[in-house]
A and B are shown apart, each in its own frame.
Chain A
Amino acid sequence: MRLELENVSMVYQSGTPFSARALEDVSLTVEPGERLAVAGPVGSGKSTLLAILAGVETPTSGRVIHGTREISRRQTPPPGSIGLAFQSPENCLFEKTVYSDVSFAPRRQGLDGQEVRRRVENSLAAVGTDPASIGQRSPFSLSIGEQRRVALAGVLAMEPRALLLDEPTAYLDPAARRELIMQLVELNEQTGVTMVMVGHDMDELARFAGRLVIIDGGRKVAEGRAESILTDSALLAGHSLDPPGTVELCSLLSAATGDQVAPALSEEQAIETLMQIMEGKC
């Protein structure tokens, strides 16, 4: 499903002394089936952008379009079409057991018991938890990292047409982070579900994104293919972001050898580059 923002601006608590401008004239098109990443400093408006894209918040001005349908306060997206994983999803857990929490949306979608069960088990497995051992526990008895995984499983279980993820890997351990990115890429490739992910770990975004948008101070300041933005260290540094580690490595190598070393975007590529520099020593 195509998602579009047209000249969207957002002012929180407009007209009060606490009025805060979070987005300023942002236009953005998310193509059906693509994996788009949104990066930017803390407070730049990323979560606001995602919530507006999901139709959860209504912008102060501008238009939001899902497919061919304009979204508004009165015209909300059909249930189950958009899955939004909030930045602090632990605040959204509410059922007695993990199993009933994750099955909440599919049950509300009126699916039969067997299908609900399949979805719950698949999505708990996708976030690296074991349904048998965690399913009957209370979500409130879990560590923060475990709660995040469960909340994310709840969104995956909706099997929405577009999946919007707000810093989904924060608080996850390294193995879970790597696994989650792999699972998301695989899910996107198998089902064509449109994905937008907010994050600031560029190594992770390099593994996830086809296209990347940077926002800063509520404005869209860059947009393009992930390879070209992620290798532009000066652009990233201007917005409190670091290049992926493999790109930083190549800058350090350039400085040390005095030769211009082309930026690498994967660990494989970085190892190749290092081997060339070591020449005959391998």
Chain B
Amino acid sequence: MSTPIIHLNNVGYRYPHFAESEDLALSGIDLRIEEGEFVGLVGANGSGKSTLARLLNGLLLPTAGEVRVGGLATADTANLDNIRETVGMVFQNPDSQIVATSVEDDIAFGPENLGLPAHEVEARVEEAARRFGIERLRQSEPHWLSGGQKQRTVLAGVVALRPRVLVLDEPTSMLDPRSQRRFRDFIDELWRGGTTIIYITQLMEEIATAPRLVVMAGGSIAFDGVPAEFFPDRDLLDATGMEPPLAARLAAGLAARGCQVRPALTLPELVANVHAGSQT
């Protein structure tokens, strides 16, 4: 079997100076992600998603077990430069990630730090700005941009590094529905281009059709499989504080009233199933 791009082996994490409680933020995490996968990562507030994300590029080091990226252990500081080139991160709050006073400097910051020659930096900035539709904002001060524009600036800066893995931590929480959809489409495009995606969200609609879903609860992995197996499982939903997407809730509501309809995770799917059912 090939080396997985991400491999966590019995990983635990305890925050330092965390004497008030004996709780571990993470424990017993086993996770293998192959290059090119799309993994939706969900879980209740405080279940450990952001902690897990920060372990993936060596921002935090496991206090138990081992995290490997492309076969390299994050615990070995000699590997960290390589690992941070491999894994790009978009954090929960875009403000925390903006470093420069213009959009283009912000995008250029990462590639410059990789030590790339100036013409290559410029080419990457141009490509990233075009891809995310922010060419016109290149001279703007990021601080005053709207939430959606800030989020795209951050993403452009990360994508300009051409990471093989992209970890996104609740990136659309502050966006309006149209900006959310556009952002999600950008990510799908990157995934189709071969980038491995780990997508953390509280919006179940955003991962209802993801090929793989990992659900966290109390610092452990409570489910790892396809969304179609997770969302109908009432016990698992209750235990993890999650909720099925609307289409699945309605399908379950129909079933509870004795109407047999094939389960669905999206509204178009539900409509197709209901329509087919009503015509036979």
Question: A residues near B, CB below 8 A?
Answer: 18, 20, 40-43, 87-88, 133, 136-138, 141-146, 149, 167, 170-178, 200-203, 240-242, 245-246, 248-249, 252-253, 256-257, 267, 270-271, 274-275, 277-279, 281-282
Give the docked Cα–Cα distance between A184 and B165 (Å): 40
Q: How far apart sit A43 and B50, CA to CA, in the bound complex (Å)?
A: 27
Please, how many angstroms separate the alpha-carbon atoms of A278 and B44 in the complex? 35
> Which 4 pairs between the two chains have the least Cβ-Cβ distance?
A145-B45, A43-B146, A174-B243, A282-B259
A194 CB to closest chain B CB (Å) equals 25
* A271 and B253 contact, Cβ closer than 8 Å, known pairs A173-B241, A174-B243, A175-B242: yes
**Contact residue among A42, A137, A146 (Cβ-Cβ distance under 8 Å from B175):** A42
Cα distance, A62 to B261, chains bound together (Å): 56
- Which of the residues B21, B44, B178, B246 comes within 8 Å of A203, measured between beta carbons? B246
Tell me whether A282 and B267 are in contact (CB under 8 A): no
| Secondary structure of the A contact surface, majority rule | helix
Considering only residues 223-280 of chain B, those with a C-beta below 8 Å from chain A are: 241-243, 246-247, 249-250, 253-254, 257-261, 267-268, 270-272, 274-275, 277-278
- Closest Cβ neighbor of B253 among chain A residues: A271
Residues of B contacting A275 with CB < 8 Å? 254, 257, 259
B102 at the A interface (CB under 8 A) = no
CB–CB A137/B174 < 8 A: no
B64 surroundings in chain A (CB, below 8 A):
none
Most buried by B among A20, A171, A248, A281: A281
| Contact B278–A142 (Cβ < 8 Å) | no
* Minimal Cβ-Cβ distance residue in A for B95: A88
Whether a CB of chain A sits under 8 angstroms from the CB of B43 is: yes
Query: In the bound complex, do residue B274 and residue A277 qualify as a contact, i.e. CB atoms below 8 Å apart?
Result: yes
B226 to chain A, nearest CB (A): 19
Q: Give the residue of B45, B148, B261 whose beta carbon is less than 8 angstroms from that of A149.
A: B45
- Measured in the bound complex, the distance between the Cα atoms of B268 and A248 in whole Å is 10
Q: Are A41 and B174 in contact (CB-based, < 8 A)?
A: no
Chain A's closest residue to B205 (CB) is A245
B141 touches A143 (CB 8 A): no
Query: Which chain A residue shows the least CB distance to B15?
Result: A141
A94 to B173, CA, bound (A): 24
Q: Are B267 and A176 in contact (CB under 8 A)?
A: no
Q: How far is the CB of A56 from chain B (nearest CB, A)?
A: 19
List, in ascending order, chain B residues with CB within 8 A of A178's CB: 243
- B20 CB–A CB distance under 8 Å: yes
Q: A173-B43, A174-B202 are in contact. List 4 more A-B contacts (CB 8 A).
A: A141-B15, A240-B176, A241-B178, A252-B268
Contacting pair B44 A271 (CB below 8 A):
no
The answer on a CB contact under 8 Å between B176 and A282 is no
Chain A residues, Cβ within 8 Å of B95: 88
Cβ–Cβ contact B274 & A18, under 8 A: no
A256 proximity list for chain B (CB < 8 A): 271-272, 275
B93 lies within 8 A of chain A by Cβ: yes
Please tell me if B92 contacts chain A, counting CB pairs below 8 Å.
Answer: yes
Interface centre among B18, B44, B175 (most CB of A within 10 A): B44
Task: Determine how close the nearest CB of chain A comes to the CB of B174; give it in whole angstroms.
Answer: 6
Chain A residues closer than 8 Å to B97, beta-carbon distance = none
A42-B146, A270-B250 known; A278 vs B259 contact (CB < 8 Å):
yes
Q: Is B177 an interface residue (CB 8 A)?
A: yes
A26 to B278, CA, bound (A): 49
**Does residue B105 face the partner (Cβ distance < 8 Å to A)?**
no
| 0/1 string, B37-67, CB within 8 A of A gives 1 | 0000001111000100000000000000000
User: Are A171 and B241 in contact (CB-based, < 8 A)?
Assistant: no
Are B254 and A271 in touch, CB under 8 angstroms?
Answer: yes
Q: How far is the CB of B118 from chain A (nearest CB, A)?
A: 28
- Interfacial chain B residues near A246, Cβ < 8 Å: 246
Contact residues in A for B178 (Cβ distance below 8 Å): 41, 240-242
